[in-house]
Structure 1
Amino acid sequence: MRAFLLWLSASLCLAAPARAFETTATSAWVYDVASRTVLMEKDADIPLPPASMSKLMTLTMLFEAVRDGRVTMDTTFPVSERAWRMGGSKMFIEPADRPTVEELIKGIIINSGNDACVAVAEGLAGTEEAFARQMNERAAELGLTHTHLTNSSGWPDPGHRMSMEDLGLLADYMIREFPDLYPLFAETEFNYKDRVPSNARNRNPLLAIGTGEWTADGLKTGHTQEAGYGLVGSAIQDGRRVIFVISGLQSDRARATESERLVNWAFREFTMQTLVPAGSTVVEAPVWLGSASRVPLTTEAGVNVLVPAGAQDRVRVEVVYDSPIPAPIAKGDPVGRLVVTVPGSRDAITPLIANTDVPEAGFVGRMRGAVMQLGQRAVAATGI
């Protein structure tokens, strides 16, 4: 086994170390999407009342139904008396209405409509209770281990719980899997049939903030007396996306202030470093009894790491593989690993794969290799 230790250039500019973010939220989770790095967590794995933030699971079920062809954006759903009578935030649909899937999505995202959620639940599963069971099954399949839902809207219930980490992971899933539907989260106004103009604006406070440095494009606010004020948010700066979840704030103003502070911190205190550009060769490894003496090793998609400000010169990159690598080798075969150590973070391990085919050597090549190995053993035995 041979290990190669590579060091990043020490000429990178230095700054103060990244400062920890002290939040007034009772629970929080911050995630850098490109590097798959959790930047901050505070009681993020504790199941808590999610309020309307759990509407993301209802939307996920509806988005998947659209993707799978079970419904289209023009499919209409009936409105039951139960949906019509829902309290709290509403889209203001009535029993005589037949809202489309697109209208219901906007009613949930922008108006936070509890009535819209019930209409979706009944339209997809027959009853809200059956829909809740389906959501729990799907949440488990998605790896949301601290989630149990009893209704479609986030209406207060002792059994209705999600962790902030689960909400963030669900947001990441929605952004990745539904690029055609996700832009609806950035829309700021929807007034179904011009019924209630005062309820027509999206409550996400970051959508109205134009910092010039980053742009927010989702996802969902939440508020109940038990849960406090919360937000599942996402923002982009120069192609880099950060997802965050906060809960337990004391007011909508506190939620807006804390969200903006957190996004600024995430973008300013960490920088993205490209260690291995996509398709580039990391190292050429020796080959045993192959038609070529060396094989180039690469990664599938390049390697990017998130580095705290001031820690650029302390990033360590280690290449590990068995040497020499025995032939035959097929392009794409995993033959080693790249280990990146960033101060304050877990090691990031990326598989190294062969970038070309290396067949076995012919008879002459194998004989030459055997002779060389015997010669090396003889030298070692005589101590020359």
Structure 2
Amino acid sequence: MLDAATTQVIGPVPTRPPGRRRARGPWMLISGLLTLLLAGTALFAVAPLRRPLPAPTVTRTVPASTVIPGTAPVVPWPKIGQAALSVEGVGSLGTSGGSKPVPIASVTKVMTAYVILTEHPIGRGEHGPKLTVSSAQAAAYPKEQARGESLVPVVAGAVFTERQALQALLLPSANNMARILAAWDAGSIEAFVAKMNDTAAALGMTHTHYTDPSGYDPGTVSTAVDQVILARKAMKLPAFAEIVAQKTATLPVAGTVRNYNSLVGHDGVVGIKTGSTDEAGGCLVFAAVVKVDGRKITVVGAVLGQPGANTPVQLARVFRVTRPLVRTAAGAIGVHPVVRAGDEVALVRGPLGAVTTLDAARDVTVVGWPGMRVRLDVDVPEVPARLPAEAEHGRITAAAGGIVSAGVPLRSAVELEPPSTWDRIRQHR
């Protein structure tokens, strides 16, 4: 038991000074601010990454068209009459002598044959249906002969196949066979001539008018340009192209006949038709085949109104002025580069300044001649965000007239890379 002398008195426990408890508040505030700052920074950094990158843009850098380099060919046009020269599928080499309709003599028979073959088609080597010479048609022969017309002998009851009749029409240029074919097809010469004019209008031969199926009538008129239009269409008919390329043929009654077109077989000439009268002079519509880079190209032309005292002189003159035209066209046509391998075709811009170019993988070439205008077509699909260097992407083609070159691939010059995460964040600071 403790006595009074040893009793220990325990006083109240002192409380923590008020100042220390309040000191905790600023630290919590600073901590909260730091947390908010870090969170905001994170949101600021992440926000750009959430936005999708824009697709790379492509800007074409080659022109829409260009010209084949070099000196344009000088065409030796005849000094008299009309002429026109065209390259099938490529374009025109030009014309001379104006566009006034003039008599065309037996060149008319190209339309006669064209109408017959479109109404009664036959293939190469086929003879087709038969037609019989009437008594009236045979009886007209002596009068036709007395007028000095170009004819084949016929007799009443003679039977010609369609092919033989066309050979008589196109090789020895028989006026009487033009009339026989016209009546066989349409029932009368007048009805057939109406078909000829309807066909000319449909083909766009706006300066052509036919009055007979043979061209003996000087009222049948046309132009060199219109006859080139028709010749291009006629040469697409296999039987026509086959017949006009023949030098001879064997016919009923007449026996062996020869082609008046003595140019056939020379300088690539494969037809088409001569014509000559006092009113028309010497006329020739011609076609020649030129080989270019393993491809056959057809040159079609017409020469009208060459002077001369008679048919042999007129035809000799028209042949003489035609040869240089054929040779000039053959020498002018070639394969020409219009865009070189490695040339820039398009510029590609990626996001945040990334750049590459699309260049031609090899030469872009066309068939044509110097000075000719060429269209350039570029096709580039959507460019991905990453495009390796030397990657093929897109194509370029060239078109000269109707001939389109094979497409040439485009290749990227350097790698196109999407921007890094850091670049995207830094760009938006």
Specify the TM-score bucket, using the shorter chain as the normaliser: 0.5 to 0.7
- Report the equivalent of 1:154: 215
Post-superposition Cα deviations, 1:225-259, rounded to whole Å, max 9, x if no partner, equal 00000100011121222111001112222112111
Residue aligning to 1:201: 258
What's the CA shift for 1:9?
12
- SS of corresponding position for 2:283: strand
> Which residue of the partner structure matches residue 366 of structure 1?
none
Please name the residue that 1:241 is paired with: 298
State the shift of 1:127 in Å. Answer: 0.1
Asked if structure 2 preserves the Cα contact closer than 8 Å seen for 1:29 and 1:44, the reply is: no
C-alpha separation between the residues in 1 aligned to 2:286 and 2:76? 17
3-state SS of 2:260 partner: coil
Q: Distance in 2 between matches of 1:68 and 1:195?
A: 23
Report the CA distance between 1:104 and its aligned residue.
Answer: 0.1
Shift of 1:274: 5.7
Identify which of 70, 74, 79 aligns with 1:19: 74
User: Does the CA-based 8 Å contact 2:228-2:301 persist in structure 1?
Assistant: yes
Matches of 1:172 and 1:34, distance apart in 2: 10
Which of 1 and 2 has greater Rg? 2
- The 1:337/1:56 distance shift into structure 2, 3 A limit, reads farther
Deviations 1:317-345 (A, max 9, x none): 644789989xxxxxxxxxx99787xxxxx
- Residues 218 and 279 in structure 2, CA contact (< 8 A), matched pair in contact too: no
170, 178, 184: which one aligns with 2:230: 170
- Partner of 1:205, secondary structure, is coil
Counterparts of 1:293-308 in structure 2, within 5 Å, are 304-308=366-370
Q: Decide whether the 8 Å contact of 1:228 with 1:249 is kept in 2.
A: yes
Structure 2 residue ranges without an equivalent (≥5): 1-57, 308-313, 349-357, 359-363, 384-394, 409-426
The one-letter code of the counterpart of 1:165 is V
The answer to whether 1:31 aligns with 2:86 is: yes
Q: Output one character per residue of 1:282-314: Cα deviation in whole Å (capped at 9) or x when no partner.
A: 97898xxxxxxxxx9xxxxx9834113xx5xx9
Q: In 2, are the aligned partners of 1:78 and 1:97 still within 8 Å (CA)?
A: yes
Distance 1:351 1:208 in 2: 30
Write the distance in 2 (CA, Å) between the matches of 1:207 and 1:191.
Answer: 18
Aligned partners of 1:53 and 1:220 also within 8 Å: yes
Per-residue deviation, 1:264 = 1.0
Aligned pairs for 1:302-341 within 5 A? 304-308=366-370, 318-319=376-377
Aligned to 1:79: 133
Alpha-carbon separation, structure 1, partners of 2:230 and 2:98? 14
The 3 A distance-change label for structure 1 pair 82 and 57 is farther
User: By how many angstroms is 1:22 displaced?
Assistant: 3.1
Does 1:267 pair with 2:326?
A: no
Higher mean displacement: 99-108 or 21-30:
21-30
Per-residue displacement from partner, 1:118-174 (whole Å, max 9, x unpaired)? 11101110000000011111221122222211111112242x112211111111111
Distance across 2 between alignment mates of 1:223 and 1:234: 18
What letter corresponds to residue 79 of structure 2 in structure 1?
Answer: T
TM-aligned CA deviation for residue 186 of structure 1: 1.0
Does structure 2 conserve the Cα–Cα contact (< 8 Å) formed by 1:51 and 1:227?
A: yes
Q: Is the 8 A contact 1:237 1:267 kept in 2?
A: yes
CA contact (8 A) 1:231 1:255 kept: yes
Amino acid at match of 1:236: V
Q: Check 1:38–1:316 CA distance in 2 against 1; reply closer, same or farther (3 A cut).
A: closer
CA contact (8 A) 2:89 2:401 kept: no
**Is the contact made by 1:217 and 1:234 (CA closer than 8 Å) also made in structure 2?**
yes
Structure 2 CA distance for partners of 1:80 and 1:4, relative to 1, 3 Å: farther
**Which amino acid is the alignment partner of residue 132 of structure 1?**
V
Q: CA 1:221–1:285 in structure 2 vs 1: closer, same or farther (change >3 Å)?
A: farther
Please tell me whether residue 188 in structure 1 is matched to residue 247 in structure 2: yes
Structure 1: stretches of 5+ with no match in the other structure: 287-295, 297-301, 326-335, 341-346, 356-378
Counting aligned pairs with the same residue, the percent is 21
TM-score of the aligned structures, taking structure 2 as reference length = 0.61
In the other structure, the counterpart of 2:27 is none
For residues 273 and 125 of structure 1, what CA distance do their matches in structure 2 show? 47
Q: 1:62 to 1:303 in 2, by over 3 A?
A: farther
CA deviation after TM superposition for structure 1 residue 201, in Å: 1.3
Question: 1: distance between equivalents of 2:374 and 2:232?
Answer: 28
Q: Which amino acid aligns with 1:233?
A: F
C-alpha deviation, 1:45, in angstroms: 3.2
- Aligned residue in 1 for 2:25: none
Secondary structure at the residue paired with 2:83? strand
Question: Does 2:119 match 1:65?
Answer: yes
Question: How far off is 1:191 after superposition?
Answer: 4.3
Hey, what does 1:372 align to over in structure 2? none
Verify: 1:54 aligned to 2:129, yes or no. Answer: no
Choose 26-35 or 314-323, whichever is displaced more. Answer: 314-323
Counterpart of 2:414 in structure 1 is none
Give the alignment partner of residue 317 of structure 2, picking from 240, 245, 254: 254
Give the whole-Å Cα distance in 1 for the aligned partners of 2:113 and 2:193: 13
Tell me how far 1:182 sits from its aligned partner.
1.4
Question: Which SS does the other structure have where 2:303 is aligned?
Answer: strand
Report which stretch shifted further, 248-257 or 48-57.
Answer: 248-257
Please say if 1:106 is aligned against 2:167.
yes
Q: Deviations over 1:48-84 (max 9, x none)?
A: 1111001011100111123289xx7331113245543
Change (3 A) 1:320 1:164: same
